[in-house]
C-alpha cells in the first residue's frame, strides 16, 4: 500500500532549531516504514483496498487486548514492516483532537520501540473529517509525538531523525505542508514552554521571541520597564515589582499581504513564574506555576505558524511577560494602581496578577484599531473546576467571533466551551476605592468575573474573546501522545482561525 509514495515529511526535531524538518520531493524511500493504522473501536479506518492487510489485522485482533480505545497503541509485525495500530475510541465520542493524539501516540510508542520511519495512508475512512483536515491533524500529531524535553537530562541521547511518509494518492500537497509547518512551530516553542522559572525569566522569553521573529520574517519590539512606565502600563509593572526580573512587553508583527486590512491581535499572559506574590500560594504544587506563561507560548507558536503559512491577514502578537514574586518591593493587597487605559485598580489579591498584565496588553492591542482581539491566559483555577482538562473556556463581547473560534477549535482538535459574560459579573468587580478591584466581591464565577474585569480594558466596538486555558496548557502526568509538560494548547486553533479568515 505504500507503493505510490507521494510525500515524505521529516518529523524529527534536532538541535538545529527552526529547521526541524523539511519536505523531500521526490521522497526517499526506505521500504521499511512502520505503517500507522487508525481504529475506531475494533474498526480499522483504512480506505478501500488493502485486503491482505485487513485480513491479517482482523486475525491479530481476535486474541489481542487492542480494542481501538483512545490512547491505545499496539505494534505488530506484518511482512517486512511493522504495523502500529492506534485507537480513536468509539465513533460517538470522537472529536478531531483524538485523531491528532492517536497519530502522536503511535509515533511516541514507535519512537520508544526504536522505530524512526513511519507511513500513514493519505486517506482515511472517517466521517466528518475532510482529507485535508485529516492530513493536517495526523501529520501535526505525528510531529508532536517525537518531542521529548531533555534540556536538563545529563544522559539524554540524541534522538535519531524521524520521517513520515503519506502513502497513496495525495490530491494536493497543501495540507501536508501545513502540517509540517505547524509541527515545526510546535516543536520549536516546546522547550521554551517547558523551562522552569529560573531558566525562562521575561528577558529570556523576549530574546527568544526576537530570534524567532528574525528567522520567520516577523517584526519584534520589546518594551522594558522604562518604556512601560512612560506609557503608563501600571498593571504589568505592579506584577513585576516584587521580582528581581524586569517585565517585558513583547510585540510581534506579521505584516500579511494587505497593508490596508485591520490586524488581528493575539494577546498572551506570560507569567514566567506565579508564586502568588504577597498573597502567596500554598507550597504544594507551586512548581506547576512555571506553566503560567503558556498563554504567551501559544501566541508565540501561533505567530510562527502564521508566518510560515504566509497568511494574508496582518496579525500582531502581544506577550505580557513578568514574574510574580513576593519581594520587598512587591505590590501589597490594597494597593491601587493605574492601567494603560487610565482605569484604576485596587489590587485585593496579588495572586490575581494575570488580569493586571492583560489589562495593559489589551489596552495596547486596542490602540492598533484591530479587527478582533483574542487573549489566551492560564487565568483561573476556577476554569479547572468548571471544565477540567477537557476544554478551555471562551468568553467575550462578540458571539460571531466566539462562534468562529469554537469552530476553528473543533477543526483543530482544541475544544472551547463558552461561558456567559453577564453584567452581574462586571458589577461584581467594582471597588469601593478605585474604578475596579482585581477580585470579585461575591467570590463566585471565578472565570467569568476575571473575563468581566478584562472586558473593562477593551473599548466597545472591538470584537474580543478571552480563552482561559488554565486546564489545558499542561499535562501533570505523561499521556500516550505526549510526555508531562506544556501542550501548547491554543496555537493550533489560533492558526486555524486566522487561516479560516484568509
Ligand atoms: N495562574 C493562576 C491561575 C491558576 C490557579 C491556574 C490555580 C491553575 C491552578 C492565576 O494567576 C491565579 O492565581 N488565579 C487565582 C485568582 C484568584 C486569586 C481570584 C485563582 O484562580 O485562584
Ligand atoms: Mn496568580
Ligand atoms: Zn497566574
Residues 228 and 308 in one domain: yes
Q: What is the pLDDT of residue 185?
A: 98
Q: What is the pLDDT of residue 422?
A: 98
Atom number in ligand 1 closest to CA 440: 19
Residue 169 belongs to a domain = yes
Alpha-carbon torsion angle 112, 125, 130, 39, nearest 10: -30
Distance from the CA of 338 to the center of ligand 3, in angstroms? Answer: 19
Residues 363 and 300 in one domain: yes
Distance CA 180, CA 146 (A): 13
Residue 433 near residue 422 (C-beta atoms within 8 A): no
Domain end, chosen from 166, 186, 206, is at 186
Distance from the CA of 221 to the center of ligand 2, in angstroms? Answer: 26
* 439 Cβ inside 6 Å of ligand 1: yes
Residue 142 belongs to a domain = yes
Distance CA 275, CA 284 (A): 11
Backbone torsions φ then ψ of 122, nearest 5 degrees: -70, -15
Residue 380 belongs to a domain = yes
Residue 2's CB is within 10 A of a number of other CB atoms, namely: 18
Show pLDDT as tens, one digit a residue, over the chain (502 residues): 333 344 556 554 433 333 333 333 334 455 689 999 999 999 999 999 889 999 999 999 998 999 999 999 999 998 889 999 999 999 999 999 999 999 999 999 999 999 999 999 999 999 999 999 999 999 999 999 999 999 999 998 887 889 999 988 777 889 999 999 999 999 999 999 999 999 999 999 999 999 999 999 999 999 999 999 999 999 999 999 999 999 999 999 999 998 889 999 999 999 999 999 999 999 999 999 999 999 999 999 999 999 999 999 999 999 999 999 999 999 999 999 999 999 999 999 999 999 999 999 999 999 999 999 999 999 999 999 999 999 999 999 999 999 999 999 999 999 999 999 999 999 999 999 999 999 999 999 999 999 999 999 999 999 999 999 999 999 999 999 999 999 999 999 999 999 999 9
Nearest CA to ligand 1 atom 9: 381
Residue 202 belongs to a domain = yes
Distance CA 357, CA 30 (A): 51
Residues 409 and 346 in one domain: yes
We report the CATH number of the domain holding residue 123 as 3.40.220.10
Q: Output the CA–CA distances (angstroms, integers) from residue 49 to 54, 124, 501, in the order listed.
A: 9, 12, 37
Q: What is the pLDDT of residue 30?
A: 52
Please tell me whether residue 338 adopts helix, strand or coil conformation: strand
Residues 363 and 468 in one domain: yes
DSSP H or E segment with residue 56: helix 51-62
Pocket test for ligand 1, best of 381, 384, 388, 487 (most atoms within 8 A of CB): 381
Residues 312 and 217 in one domain: yes
Cα angle for residues 318, 321, 326 (degrees, 5° grid): 155
Distance from the CA of 437 to the center of ligand 3, in angstroms? Answer: 16
Alpha-carbon torsion angle 15, 185, 8, 25, nearest 10: -90
Q: Pick from 54, 135, 93, 85: which is nearest to 480 by CA?
A: 85
- Give one word for 332, left, alpha or beta, with left for phi > 0 and alpha for psi -120 to 50: beta
Q: What is the pLDDT of residue 133?
A: 97
Q: Pick from 340, 330, 343, 357: which is nearest to 248 by CA?
A: 357
Residues 358 and 465 in one domain: yes
Cell numbers at 408, concatenated: 476553528
Residues 207 and 94 in one domain: no
Nearest CA to ligand 1 atom 7: 381
* 354 Cβ inside 6 Å of ligand 1: yes
DSSP H or E segment with residue 268: strand 264-274
* 352 Cβ inside 6 Å of ligand 1: yes
Give the start-end residues of each E strand in 236-367.
Answer: 248-254, 264-274, 315-324, 336-338, 344-346
Atom number in ligand 1 closest to CA 353: 11
Distance CA 183, CA 175 (A): 12
Q: Is 355 in the active site? A: yes
* 388 Cβ inside 6 Å of ligand 1: no
Residues 245 and 149 in one domain: no
Residues 171 and 248 in one domain: no
Cell numbers at 361, concatenated: 496588553
Nearest CA to ligand 1 atom 13: 351
Distance CA 275, CA 199 (A): 16
Helix axes 399-412, 96-112, angle to 10 degrees: 30
* 429 Cβ inside 6 Å of ligand 1: no
Domain span at residue 323 reads: 195-501
DSSP string, 323-340: EE---TTPPPTT-EEE-T
Beta-carbon-side half-sphere exposure of residue 341 (alpha carbons within 13 Å): 22
Whole-number CA gyration radius for the chain:
23
Per the structure, the count of domains in the chain is 2
Domain end, chosen from 186, 217, 242, is at 186
We report the CATH number of the domain holding residue 228 as 3.40.630.10
Residue 1 belongs to a domain = no
Pocket test for ligand 1, best of 288, 376, 380, 383 (most atoms within 8 A of CB): 380
Residues 167 and 199 in one domain: no
Residues 108 and 234 in one domain: no
Residue 453 belongs to a domain = yes
Q: Is 281 in the active site? A: yes
Residues 91 and 233 in one domain: no
Distance CA 171, CA 168 (A): 10
Domain end, chosen from 144, 166, 186, is at 186
Residue 422's CB is within 10 A of a number of other CB atoms, namely: 12
Spell out a b/e string for 381-406, using b for 16 or more CB atoms within 10 Å of the CB, else e. Answer: ebbbebbebebbbbbbbbeebbebbb
Q: What is the pLDDT of residue 158?
A: 81
Distance CA 234, CA 270 (A): 16
Q: What is the pLDDT of residue 4?
A: 37
Residue 55 belongs to a domain = yes
* 278 Cβ inside 6 Å of ligand 1: no
Q: What is the pLDDT of residue 256?
A: 97
Residue 496 near residue 502 (C-beta atoms within 8 A): no
Q: What is the pLDDT of residue 433?
A: 98
Distance CA 496, CA 502 (A): 10
Residue recorded with cell 506584577: 239
Q: Pick from 284, 281, 318, 279: which is nearest to 298 by CA?
A: 318
Amino acid at each position: 500500500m505504500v507503493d505510490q509514495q507521494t510525500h515524505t515529511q521529516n518529523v524529527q526535531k534536532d538541535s538545529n532549531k527552526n529547521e526541524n524538518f523539511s519536505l523531500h520531493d521526490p521522497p526517499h524511500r526506505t521500504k521499511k516504514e512502520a505503517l500507522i493504522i487508525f481504529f475506531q473501536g475494533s474498526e480499522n479506518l483504512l480506505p478501500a483496498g488493502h485486503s491482505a492487510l485487513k485480513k491479517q489485522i482482523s486475525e491479530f485482533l481476535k486474541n489481542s487486548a487492542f480494542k481501538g480505545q483512545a490512547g491505545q497503541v499496539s505494534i505488530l509485525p506484518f511482512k517486512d514492516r511493522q504495523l502500529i495500530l492506534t485507537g480513536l475510541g468509539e465513533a460517538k465520542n470522537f472529536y478531531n483532537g483524538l485523531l491528532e493524539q492517536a497519530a502522536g501516540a503511535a509515533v511516541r510508542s514507535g519512537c520508544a520501540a526504536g522505530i524512526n520511519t513511519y507511513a500513514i495512508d493519505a486517506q482515511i475512512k472517517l466521517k466528518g473529517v475532510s482529507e485535508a483536515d485529516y492530513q493536517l491533524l495526523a501529520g501535526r500529531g505525528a510531529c508532536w509525538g517525537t518531542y521529548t524535553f531533555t534540556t536538563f537530562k545529563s544522559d539524554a541521547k540524541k534522538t535519531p531523525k524521524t520521517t513520515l511518509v503519506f502513502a497513496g494518492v495525495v490530491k494536493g500537497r497543501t495540507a501536508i505542508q501545513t502540517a509540517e509547518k505547524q509541527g515545526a512551530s510546535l516543536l520549536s516553542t516546546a522547550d521554551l514552554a517547558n523551562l522552569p522559572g529560573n531558566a525562562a525569566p521575561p528577558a529570556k522569553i523576549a530574546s527568544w521571541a526576537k530570534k524567532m521573529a528574525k528567522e520567520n520574517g516577523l517584526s519584534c519590539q520589546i518594551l522594558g520597564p522604562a518604556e512601560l512606565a512612560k506609557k503608563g502600563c501600571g498593571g504589568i509593572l505592579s506584577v513585576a515589582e516584587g521580582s528581581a526580573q524586569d517585565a517585558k512587553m513583547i510585540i510581534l508583527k506579521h505584516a500579511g499581504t494587505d497593508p490596508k486590512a485591520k490586524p488581528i491581535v493575539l494577546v498572551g499572559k506570560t507569567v514566567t513564574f506565579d508564586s502568588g506574590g504577597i498573597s502567596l500560594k500554598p507550597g504544594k504544587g507551586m512548581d506547576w506555576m512555571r506553566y503560567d506563561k503558556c498563554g504567551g507560548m501559544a501566541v508565540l507558536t501561533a505567530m510562527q505558524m502564521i508566518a510560515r503559512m504566509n497568511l494574508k491577514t496582518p496579525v500582531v502578537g502581544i506577550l505580557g511577560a513578568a514574574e510574580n514574586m513576593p519581594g520587598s518591593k512587591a505590590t501589597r493587597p490594597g494597593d491601587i494602581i493605574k492601567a494603560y487605559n487610565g482605569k484604576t485598580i485596587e489590587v485585593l489579591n496579588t495572586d490575581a496578577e494575570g488580569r493586571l498584565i492583560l489589562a495593559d496588553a489589551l489596552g495596547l492591542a486596542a490602540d492598533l484599531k484591530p479587527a478582533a482581539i483574542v487573549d489566551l491566559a492560564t487565568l483561573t483555577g476556577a476554569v479547572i473546576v468548571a471544565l477540567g482538562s477537557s476544554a478551555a473556556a471562551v468568553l467575550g463581547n462578540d458571539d460571531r467571533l466566539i462562534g468562529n473560534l469554537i469552530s476553528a477549535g473543533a477543526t483543530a482538535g482544541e475544544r472551547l466551551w463558552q461561558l456567559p459574560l453577564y453584567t452581574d459579573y462586571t458589577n461584581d468587580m467594582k471597588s469601593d476605592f478605585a474604578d475596579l478591584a482585581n477580585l470579585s466581591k461575591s467570590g463566585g464565577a471565578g472565570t467569568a468575573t476575571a473575563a468581566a474585569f478584562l472586558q473593562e480594558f477593551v473599548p466597545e466596538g472591538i470584537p474580543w474573546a478571552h480563552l482561559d486555558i488554565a486546564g489545558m496548557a499542561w499535562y501533570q502526568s505523561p499521556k500516550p501522545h505526549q510526555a508531562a509538560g506544556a501542550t501548547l494548547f491554543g496555537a493550533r486553533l489560533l492558526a486555524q482561525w486566522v487561516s479560516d479568515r484568509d
